Structure 1
Amino acid sequence: MQTIEAKGGAGVEAVGVQAGIPVRFEAADGYCLAGFLWQTGETRPDRSVVLIACATSVRCRYYSRFASYLFDHGFDVLTFDYRGIDQSRPQRMRGLDADWVDWGEKDVEAALAFLALRFPGRPVDVVAHSIGGLAIGLAPSSHRLRRIVTVGAQYAYWRDYAPAKRRRMLWKWHVVMPLLTALFGYFPAKRLGWMEDTPQGVVRNWSRMGAHFEDTVCRSGKGGTGRDPQVLRQRLRQVTASILAISLTDDPHGTVPAVRRLLAYFDAAKRRHLHLAPSDIGHTEIGHFAFFHDRFRATLWPLALSFLRDGAVPDAFLHALIDHDSL
């Protein structure tokens, strides 16, 4: 696997925070991926590196302030865009048939390989948002991870959507999205102001998702891939890292059933599930995306930081612990 680092550049534009350095690296199939790296000059073998795995079609720049926060608190950090998204977007989206499995077993795997070469012997942790929580488990090297924090992590099975929002979400993600994708050859989400433009394979996974993700992606996946559901299930079950899964009461995607459905695959891992209400930290809403907003620097971000540092959940949040394995 060839690894390429971009030299110079302005990095992530974020006023008042440390900018990440632009980097590029190749997946095993030769696809070039791009992202940003926060790296200190320290070479302590115990200094952890954190990989941030994005939500579906959310560009990695969205997480730059959170990445800078982790960097300021003693971690080196890598963010990157999956194939088809922002910095890793090809010149032509039509015809790019990447799906969620590609994002995990090729793109996340390439990011982990990049970190292994750049930081040999260093512990690697992950912060995964939404589909990132599935993608990280699909990477063949995921068994080497130390700790994982997920936020709203699930794989979009429609019956797990919040009941009050389910009808609208079904129309948006399971009717409008696949119809427009069939017309354009990809989902032109930016024109609608929804998210980044999205490869057709991801749309196919999302819009047809059933109760068991591995059956859906193998049944409705790309022709001739030869994917085996058992292989995908086993891939997730090789993860032995300690996992802190965070869900929010006002997140219509990452509901308790949705998060539990994904966590069930990680049965070799040590799992803790916190279900937080915005009122727990004196706010009225957080939702599926706002955890990574700078306004939660003093309230939510220390929760992730504490778990990444020593695998501990601060006492102030223990009341929200609803599921856990014996540790």
Structure 2
Amino acid sequence: MSWTDGPMTALHLHTPRGGQVAARVFEPPVDVQSTLQVVIGPAMGVAQRYYADFAAWLAGRGMRVLTFDYRGQADSLALLPGRRVRHVDATLHDWRADYEAVTLHLHALAPGLPLRLIGHSLGAQLPGLFDRTDHIAGLLAVAAGSGYWRQNAPQLRSRALLMWHGLVPVLTPLFGYFPGKRLGAVGDLPAGVIRQWRRWCLHPDYSGAEGPAARSRYAAVRFPIHALSITDDEMMTLPGTQSLLALYAQAPQAIERVAPADHGLARIGHLGWFHRRHRADLWPHALQALHSLPQRVAQAPA
């Protein structure tokens, strides 16, 4: 890893319902004034260290950038006694609270600066469930969409059914968590997280499965969203991205299709965008999209 573009500070944040969250803040070089604050919301089972080079690269271009691990994951798991995923009491609602808490922490550092999110997969799904979003100026959604199994890429649907009707119901009670690392699938996840995610992925409305209150929160979002939909994403199809953005019914939004060939690449996939090998091709594309997000639509007073 290289964080030479500017200083990096490691944080330990306390989040709602006893959450312990490890975060890192990447600052611009000392001679560069910050013009924007960014939180990178990680994908399911992806550690913040994967985004470190990208975060440092953004910081070198005048942004203060925060990365984090959801409670019970990677560096956040290391904060807990025993460091065992099976002992982590967490749901996707808790991860939403972790994510919201880190955005509020970063916003408090410089309330006058715009704060935008870069949400990778799950990181673009959870902001619609935040209690408040008035401090968020926009969302760049990368490889994000609904996880509803019928909207997975065709080659994944049979594996998804095996996952949701076989592996998760059998292995989660057996191990006390979902042992994804052993299976090469999404990583080790707390039991509460995987059970809730299973319910979402088997429901046509995905996170809208949480009911009218959840759908109302999505519909209340007014920050603009720009979604980068990747043509060879093996997880998130274009219909899946369209379904997710349909939940954000009142938010200004646009979907941009990105093919590997657009950048002279053979493959990007679901996880490839943030890899350091794409510093010269995909990262400038993301930077331009981030800066191109329109101004947030003003909301009428309640």
Assess same fold via TM > 0.5: yes
Matches within 5 A, 1:103-114: 103-104=95-96, 106-114=97-105
Identify if the C-alpha distance between structure 1 residues 15 and 27 changes in structure 2 by more than 3 Å, giving closer, same or farther: closer
Matches within 5 A, 1:50-129: 50-89=38-77, 90=80, 91-104=83-96, 106-129=97-120
Which structure 2 residues correspond to residues 124-273 of structure 1 after superposition, within 5 A?
124-172=115-163, 174-209=165-200, 210-214=203-207, 216=209, 218=210, 229-273=211-255
**Greater shift after overlay, 156-165 or 171-180?**
171-180
- Give 1:221's aligned residue: none
Letter in 2 for 1:100: L
Q: In the alignment, residue 133 of structure 1 is paired with which amino acid?
A: A
Structure 1 residue 214, shift from structure 2 partner? 4.3
| Alpha carbons 2:3, 2:52 under 8 Å: kept | no
Cα distance in 2 between the residues matched to 1:153 and 1:69 = 22
d(CA) in 2 for partners of 1:52, 1:160: 25
Change (3 A) 1:47 1:16: closer
Which stretches of structure 1, 4 residues or more, deviate above 4 A after TM superposition? 15-19, 41-44
Name the stretch that deviates more: 258-267 or 33-42.
33-42
CA-atom RMSD in angstroms: 2.2
- In the TM superposition, 1:17-56 aligns within 5 A as 18=6, 20-40=8-28, 47-56=35-44
**Cα deviation digits, residues 188-237 of structure 1 (max 9, x gap):** 22333444321112211232321123453x4xxxxxxxxxx222112222
Unaligned stretches of 5+ residues in structure 2: 295-302
Deviations 1:16-45 (A, max 9, x none): 66563211111132322111111245796x
Range moving further from structure 2, 91-100 or 63-72: 91-100
Aligned residues of 1:189 and 1:196 also touching (Cα < 8 A): yes
Compute the displacement of 1:295 (Å): 1.9
Return the alpha-carbon distance in structure 2 between the equivalents of residues 17 and 188 of structure 1.
36
* 1:142-166 CA-partner distances (Å, limit 9, x unpaired): 2331121111112411000111232
Secondary structure in 2 matching 1:112: helix
- Cα distance in 1 between the residues matched to 2:181 and 2:5: 26
Gaps of 5+ in 1: 1-12, 219-228, 313-327
TM-score normalised per structure 1: 0.81
Judged with a 3 Å threshold, the aligned counterparts in structure 2 of structure 1 residues 36 and 173 are, in CA distance, closer, same or farther, namely farther
Q: CA deviation at 1:239?
A: 1.8
Q: Tell me the SS of whatever aligns to 2:267.
A: coil
Q: For residue 143 of structure 2, what is the amino acid of its counterpart?
A: G
| Paired residue total | 287
Q: Residues 268-307 of structure 1: CA distance to partner in whole angstroms, max 9, x if unpaired? A: 2110101121111111111100011122222221122112
Structure 2 Cα separation of the partners of residues 178 and 292 of structure 1: 32
Distance 1:215 1:182 in 2: 26
Alpha carbons 2:145, 2:241 under 8 Å: kept: yes
State the partner residue of 1:226.
none
Corresponding letter in the other structure for 1:99: T
**Equivalent pair of 1:24/1:32 in contact (CA under 8 Å):** yes
Alpha-carbon distance change, 32 to 42 in structure 1, aligned in 2, over 3 angstroms: farther
- Looking at structure 2, the residues matched to 253 and 24 of structure 1 have their Cα atoms a distance apart, in angstroms, of 32
Query: What is the TM-score with the length of structure 2 in the denominator?
Result: 0.87
Task: Give the letter for the 1:159 counterpart.
Answer: R
Does the 8 Å contact 2:22/2:76 carry over to 1?
yes
Map of 2:291 onto structure 1: 309
- Partners of 2:32 and 2:260 in 1: CA distance: 39
